[in-house]
Structure 1
Amino acid sequence: MVRILFVVNGFAVGGGELKLLELISQLKQRYPQKYRIVVASVGQGGPLEENFRKVADRTEIYIKRHAYDVMQIFGLIRLIREEKIQLIQTTLFYADILGTMAGVLTGVRNIISWEVYTEQYSLKQKWAYRLASKGLSSIIAVSDATRRKMIHQYHLPEAKVRTIHYGIDVKKFQSRNPREIRKELGIPQNTIVFGTIARLTEQKGHRYLIQAIPTLIRHFPRVLFLFIGDGPLRASLIQLAQDLEVLPYIQFLGFRSDVDALLSAMDVFVLPSLYEGFPNAVLEAMACGKPVVATGVDGTPEAVLHGKTGLL
């Protein structure tokens, strides 16, 4: 049995966390006797904590109490030794640093970093990642854009970084009838429904979408926007929508588990992100046959063909 430790920043609802959850679920379903899966959060709990506990053999949380909490490393070291871990995969920056350090200190020979974002790191973060990367055996980038960033910004050997794009189970997103979910949401007939699925953070660019709504409704008054996801900007985005007098045109739905049904209710999927590794939500929208309007940043053009499957 191969004993794998997955280290992640936390259990928030984000693309990286959801894809990791899906990966672990598939490993356990397809090879129940082949892998022992251990998951460690080095930052926080979150809405996905119980989901991880259901699919992993063991799940631990090492709370981040301050910026440089060495107790987290000691916790990981103890976990690695107890479980006799053979392979470590880290996801997201803080997990990359701590997971790699703990792996090196315990002599784990196979340490893989899964790079899902393309945000700009500070000089201190770049230095920390470059140092930690020396202990990595391989780096998996979710897009060619992410791979280029890793190579150029951190001066990593090209042979050490490879691209593996996200995949999705398209069967989950087919043959859905939108009438029921539209009725549940109270959407009038003949309404053009735009939707986005993303955390309510600066990265995802919701404010720019809200700022564009007044122009859109002057030409197309029968429109509605579904904002699926939650986050720290919820209150400020609602206030912005009120200030621009477009709140009646938006439904803030928060975190939802019925994403496939909500996608079926949309006519157009929108993703106004400022940066993206490889947007999973776009793939899900395309699996539902929805046209996509998105900012052409980073890995997004690797998913959306401008003028064919959407507009960038």
Structure 2
Amino acid sequence: MTSGSPIRLVFCITELDLGGAERALTQLVLGLNRDEWEPHVICLGPSGHFVDVLKGEQIPVICLNARGIASLPRILIRLTQELRRLRPALVQTFLFHANLLGRVAARFAGIPHVVSGIRVADHRSRWYGRLDRWTNSLVTTNVCVSQGVADYSADVVGLARSKLRVIPNAVEIERFANAPPTDLRSLGIPDGSRTFIAIGRLERQKGMDLLIDAVALWKTIPDDVQILIVGDGHDRDSLQAQVAEHRLTDRVHFAGPRQDIPGLLKSACALVLASRWEGMPNVVLEAMATGRAVIATRVEGVPEIVRDRVSGLVVSPDSPADLRSALEWFAENPQFVESAGSESQRIVRESFTTEATCKAYTNVYRTLLSRK
């Protein structure tokens, strides 16, 4: 399939702001062999951080500027028009709205193959699963980021297992392994502190409220232990109020959205993921690439990357008490934390490289395009 002109692919995603799915799409697109593939990217929303990254590498990007649910009919028409103009051999979609509109637009445009990226076991609403199931006849293959997501998609959503493939996320290992540490004093953290860091949207899924409750349950916190929460979202004000209510303002710090995540991870002693549900959390892979041990809830994707009592601790979701016990155990066992960080980095070097993920996706594309 490498003879002749490169094969045109369209990658469609809901938005291209900073985020795990957005970074994963960017890594995949930039990792493609341009002698074989000609990638184009369509973003349903306005321009975001990764638009400039992609354009800087000569990848054509179109932003359709969706503005809420009311604009979706207009966006569907525009997306169909762009697919008819580009005539790709295959459309790859990422995130719920792009998955839904992308598969419908591809059918209207006569595109024969649609690969849908399922990146999370979405517990928010049954309607998400129903819409996915009702339109999945328009999809050729669903790529799930973890076996946990594949099992959820089959057992709960009701998608056909024959259409499900598992390709895990990747991480830019050297970017994190070689990052210079960030000076945390500017964030209110005293010099010499052992900092547990939590990174993610400040929304219910990520369980930041559970982490704050866990710290509140920790009655004998060592003097040098601090908690740093990085990110923004709808729950920011309520989380800050929760910290104040528990009188933890000298222990729990909010950094807001940041672009120096590798440096922040390098300055922390461990990552805490308190999520209620996931897919395969990129931030865990990033922490592991940095050489950091991980405390994480037993949600989709986590048991496939974090080895309990080897590279970190895996605890029950929705349990502040279990989180508190893990935090306390880490604080009391610094030698384990150091060795678990080294093991974490070894695991991602072996199994979660960008090269391996790109190869897996292109194998899916080649298989589909070889069919008549």
TM-score normalised by the chain length of structure 2: 0.76
Secondary structure in 1 matching 2:69: coil
Q: Residue 58 and residue 48 in structure 1: after superposition, are their counterparts in 2 closer, same or farther (change >3 A)?
A: closer
Q: Residue 233 and residue 123 in structure 1: after superposition, are their counterparts in 2 closer, same or farther (change >3 A)?
A: closer
Consecutive unaligned residues in structure 2, runs of 5 or more: 1-5, 315-372
Q: Does 1:77 align with 2:66?
A: no
2-structure distance, mates of 1:177, 1:217 = 33
* 1:266 CA drift (Å): 0.5
User: What CA deviation, in whole Å up to 9, does each residue of 1:22-80 have, x standing for no partner?
Assistant: 222323xxx34543332223345545444444443122224144358322111111101
2-structure distance, mates of 1:172, 1:47 = 18
Q: Does 1:3 align with 2:5?
A: no
Any conservation in 2 of the 1:13–1:199 contact (CA below 8 Å)?
no
Secondary structure in 1 matching 2:220: helix
Any conservation in 2 of the 1:42–1:64 contact (CA below 8 Å)?
no
Q: Does 1:142 align with 2:145?
A: yes
- Where in structure 2 are the equivalents of 1:143-292 lying within 5 Å? 143-176=146-179, 178=181, 181-182=183-184, 185=187, 187-216=189-218, 218-292=220-294
Q: Residue 225 and residue 39 in structure 1: after superposition, are their counterparts in 2 closer, same or farther (change >3 A)?
A: same
Deviates more, 1:13-22 or 1:90-99: 13-22
Any conservation in 1 of the 2:45–2:63 contact (CA below 8 Å)?
no
- Aligned residue type for 1:13: L
1-structure distance, mates of 2:72, 2:187 = 45
* 1:218 CA drift (Å): 2.8
Any conservation in 2 of the 1:62–1:75 contact (CA below 8 Å)?
no
The corresponding residue for 1:108 is 111
* 1:187 CA drift (Å): 3.6
* 1:157 CA drift (Å): 2.8
Q: Does 1:130 align with 2:119?
A: no
Any conservation in 2 of the 1:53–1:59 contact (CA below 8 Å)?
no
Q: Residue 199 and residue 53 in structure 1: after superposition, are their counterparts in 2 closer, same or farther (change >3 A)?
A: farther
* 1:131 CA drift (Å): 2.3
Q: Residue 214 and residue 66 in structure 1: after superposition, are their counterparts in 2 closer, same or farther (change >3 A)?
A: closer
1-structure distance, mates of 2:186, 2:30 = 30
The corresponding residue for 2:319 is none
Any conservation in 2 of the 1:210–1:241 contact (CA below 8 Å)?
yes
Any conservation in 2 of the 1:36–1:57 contact (CA below 8 Å)?
no
The corresponding residue for 2:301 is 299
Deviates more, 1:130-139 or 1:149-158: 149-158
Deviates more, 1:239-248 or 1:181-190: 181-190
Secondary structure in 1 matching 2:291: coil
Q: Residue 21 and residue 110 in structure 1: after superposition, are their counterparts in 2 closer, same or farther (change >3 A)?
A: same
Equivalent position to 1:14, from 19, 39, 51: 19
2-structure distance, mates of 1:177, 1:11 = 26
2-structure distance, mates of 1:187, 1:64 = 38
* 1:189 CA drift (Å): 3.7
Any conservation in 1 of the 2:120–2:278 contact (CA below 8 Å)?
yes
User: What CA deviation, in whole Å up to 9, does each residue of 1:106-132 have, x standing for no partner?
Assistant: 111121011110012644333321122
2-structure distance, mates of 1:306, 1:23 = 29
TM-score normalised by the chain length of structure 1: 0.90
Secondary structure in 2 matching 1:134: helix
Q: Does 1:95 align with 2:98?
A: yes
User: What CA deviation, in whole Å up to 9, does each residue of 1:68-99 have, x standing for no partner?
Assistant: 83221111111011112221111111111110
Q: Residue 237 and residue 70 in structure 1: after superposition, are their counterparts in 2 closer, same or farther (change >3 A)?
A: same
> For the aligned residues, what is the CA RMSD?
2.2
2-structure distance, mates of 1:186, 1:70 = 47
